[in-house]
Structure 1
């Protein structure tokens, strides 16, 4: 089911938010309404029967603006986010990834974090959208790498999204191996050499290691 809590006769940007009925998405929509761009629409794809890739694709297909911005139901866009999205996707640029702050941080290494992406709608559709084979792990990275084959893609440090909570995704070793197999050069260039330590820390964090360390470190901290 696709709902449009915000509509516009001629939107500059269409915002696609995949979600499921169990998750709250009102806060992210409220944050978008407080932004500086007046002409935009919001498409909330609220369907538990769709995986995240199918939900994003459904939103992109239903969007009416040439520019589609992607974020998640647990994010909080700053007031200037949509304006930056609109300005960043200018000329022949087909995909822009932005900075992420909060419970998750990202500084732009060509991995295309799905909570802060802007795409040219027609190019995204021509690329085939998001692939369900990667749903839940690396689906955004794989999509971004295919968009690179369609036109210029770039990182915009001023296109900021706030992700207050820790990511819900879990590492999927099979999908990770598939990405490496299908995109060996980009995988070796972007994921292996420069982020090896970060990936180890991320792996440990997602499995609760650092939470356990913190519990030990701060046990009895008020005594």
Structure 2
């Protein structure tokens, strides 16, 4: 690891023998103090927090760096604009205790982004078995900033049990900063045609119309007028 990479690894919460390592990828322009404050109020005892703070790294690179240097067998991911409830880490530990072969865990998200468990594996609320994740190669950097989480989760499904747990809740107060990258979307569909059809393609006609409008950028344009931003939380 280079000196630059080493300096980008911040450990605001430490533990000598953590059961869970929480990784927060961020950039210096974004304030991570609020999410760390929420993590400091967790009910769990044996956990630590690793913030990857480097403007030269993309989110996939940052998460992979954190995954490589995490101390715990369970690694949880969230983002610098999220606010983990006090029982978040404890719920993650409980889920892994209940499922011996669990390799990837997701849960609901509420706030500026909403998620109810559709095998898309948003990294604002994701936990994995570290050894399995490393063996699988970590996040694929070709999916940088779009569908890297879904591709990662689908790949881990092939190595063990995947669980959606209502108790593992995350609050995402702000609207997501990401928006659709068509090349990444096409690559995901090409690589996983059956999973893409099952998970991504809507079932009903209204859902398909809404999805088409989203892919064509209509909802981004509407949101830009409403919120002064081209970023959309849909999809």
Structure 2: distance between partners of 1:122 and 1:205: 41
Which secondary structure state, in structure 1, belongs to the residue aligned with residue 168 of structure 2? strand
- Quick one: which of 28, 41, 45 aligns to 1:34? 41
Structure 2: distance between partners of 1:202 and 1:157: 27
Could you tell me how far 1:187 is from its partner in structure 2?
0.2
For residues 38-80 of structure 1, the C-alpha deviation after alignment (integer angstroms, 9 at most, x for no partner) is 2211000001111100100110111111000000000000000
Pairing of 1:66-105 with structure 2 (within 5 A): 66-90=73-97, 91-105=100-114
Q: What does residue 207 of structure 1 align with?
A: 220
Could you tell me how far 1:209 is from its partner in structure 2?
1.1
Could you tell me how far 1:193 is from its partner in structure 2?
2.7
Q: What does residue 195 of structure 2 align with?
A: 186
Could you tell me how far 1:213 is from its partner in structure 2?
6.5
Structure 2: distance between partners of 1:189 and 1:171: 19
- Quick one: which of 17, 37, 54 aligns to 2:61? 54
Could you tell me how far 1:170 is from its partner in structure 2?
1.4
Cα pair 1:74 1:164 within 8 Å, conserved: yes
Which secondary structure state, in structure 2, belongs to the residue aligned with residue 101 of structure 1? strand
User: Does the C-alpha gap of structure 1 residues 174 and 157 become closer, same or farther in structure 2, counting only changes over 3 Å?
Assistant: same
**Runs of at least 5 residues in structure 1 that lack an aligned partner in the other structure:** 216-223
Cα pair 2:108 2:168 within 8 Å, conserved: yes
Structure 2: distance between partners of 1:95 and 1:158: 15
TM-score by structure 2 length? 0.87
TM-score by structure 1 length? 0.91
Structure 2: distance between partners of 1:57 and 1:206: 31
Structure 2: distance between partners of 1:28 and 1:164: 11
Cα pair 1:4 1:41 within 8 Å, conserved: yes
Name the Cα RMSD after superposition: 1.8
User: Does the C-alpha gap of structure 1 residues 146 and 34 become closer, same or farther in structure 2, counting only changes over 3 Å?
Assistant: same
Could you tell me how far 1:201 is from its partner in structure 2?
6.2
Q: What does residue 149 of structure 1 align with?
A: 158
Give the total of aligned pairs: 215
- Quick one: which of 152, 155, 168 aligns to 1:159? 168
Q: After TM superposition, which residue ranges in structure 1, 4 or more long, deviate above 3 angstroms?
A: 194-206, 210-215
